[in-house]
A and B are shown apart, each in its own frame.
Chain A
Amino acid sequence: MIAPLGLAAFALVVNSVGSRWLGRASWVDRAPALGIVVWQVLTASVLMSVSLAGLALALPLLPGTASLATLLEACSAALQNHYRTPGGLGMSVAGAVLVVGVVGRIVYCLVAEGRTIRGARSKQRQGLALSAHRDDAWDISVVDHATPAIYCLPGRRSGVIVTTGARATLDDDQLRAVIAHERAHLHGRHDLVLGLSGALVRAIPRLACLRIGDSELTRLVEMRADDVALRTNDRITLARALVNLAQGHTPAGALGANGAALSRLHRLTRPPRPIGWMAHGLAAVVGLTLLAIPVLILAEPAAIVAMMHYCPLDI
């Protein structure tokens, strides 16, 4: 019973404590690319722990544990004994259901989300094909529309779309900066990052790390694209572009989500110190640990038994 309990406890701690701490960490805004990876590692760690907990419960059911033991030249009876649970068959079945349920639900939501997104993009592309004009000089599609807007359409035939309203509002330098930002989204496949995190939230809405992770990733992806754009553009130019494009008519369902724009503007006007290589190294170590611990908890008894060349009475 140790393995499933250990895994469940680990998942609980990382999910609640870990994601809340990471959600408030100030270094994340200073290194958005790293923040994106760390969030993904954190959610992977939680989901892996939950799945492995179920697997640990279900192990006695699997015929393979006997042959796994012989493979390891270990004592199969002792291994079986370790993974046995007080609840017996019932617990094991519950564990199996948990694993299948979690993994199945996630896969289902990923597939469904993928389909929805592809359909919406295809519709956009079709509509744009009919009414947008190519501007090959800038490598963009221009739509005749008064509201200033610039967005990218990710996917197989990706592109950056600019309205005539936006072209009128921005000067050439600002336009160049915004296009660089959008291309950063495309090259970085941020659509995959957000598509995944969005699907996961839909799959298991109550899991804190997924909810917080999704909203954080949405923010971080924008900051990352800003950072990439700043390699070839001036930050005040980008800041001006941000403010100029933010106005337009008030949308019908006014999204209050624009604390994000304000924090982006602060980053551009008062750039934060980047974090050092030691911090990156530390993050790498923590990340690997988060992924290794669940595997170790699950495999610990089998590993120990394999290392011994005799069969102990008690593990």
Chain B
Amino acid sequence: MQSFGQLEAAVMQRLWDWQRPVAVREVLEDLQRERTIAYTTVMTVMDNLFQKGFLRRDMDGRAYQYMPVQTREQHTAELMELALSSGGDSAATLLYFVKQMPAAEVEQLRQVLDRTVLDETGA
């Protein structure tokens, strides 16, 4: 049985791909093409995603229609923004290989590197 995390990801991928309101049943039928899974499981997963703020929903007749709150790009951009700014809260949250910097400073780095490579291959 797939972990909940993997199911949540599978559901979000479909919602992001389709970009229109969908009911639990439609998501269930698509998931069933790849795995055995119960309606209640999918319902719980989508309810969880709603509680966590990734999906919003409207009552349409007797069933909920779900839509993602953000597009995939917005979600990823926000994730990266959060990751970048985490340095403000605490430097220990995550560790970057190197932080982004203005073009002028990158140019300075590039010059140092080019000089070195030149020295080593030249001499």
Contact = CB atoms under 8 A, between A and B. Distances in A.
Contacts of A185: 95
A195 B94 CA distance: 10
B79 interface: yes
A294 interface: no
Interface string A49-79: 0000000000000000000000000000000
B99 to A, nearest CB: 6
B76 A261 contact: no
A120 B89 contact: yes
Top 5 closest pairs, chain A to chain B, by CB:
A195-B92, A269-B116, A194-B92, A127-B79, A258-B101
A36 B109 CA distance: 26
Nearest to A215: B91
Main DSSP-derived SS at the A contact region: helix
Main DSSP-derived SS at the B contact region: helix
Given A240-B113, A255-B87, A265-B109, A145 B77 contact: yes
Contacts of B99: 251, 255, 257-258, 261
B114 to A, nearest CB: 9
Nearest to B75: A131
Interface residues on chain A, size class:
35 or more
Contacts of A248: 100
A117 B101 contact: no
A151 B75 contact: no
Contacts of A198: 90-92
B2 to A, nearest CB: 12
Interface string A124-137: 10111111000000
Interface string B77-107: 1111011101101111111111111110110
Interface of B: 5, 8-9, 12, 52, 54, 72, 75-80, 82-84, 86-87, 89-103, 105-106, 108-110, 112-113, 115-117, 120
Contacts, number: 159
A299 B99 CA distance: 48
Contacts of B87: 255
Contacts of B109: 242-243, 246, 261-262, 265
Given A124-B79, A124-B83, A246-B106, A150 B96 contact: yes
A154 interface: yes
Given A131-B72, A131-B76, A251-B101, 11 more contacts: A117-B92, A131-B79, A145-B77, A151-B97, A163-B80, A221-B95, A240-B113, A246-B105, A254-B101, A257-B99, A261-B109
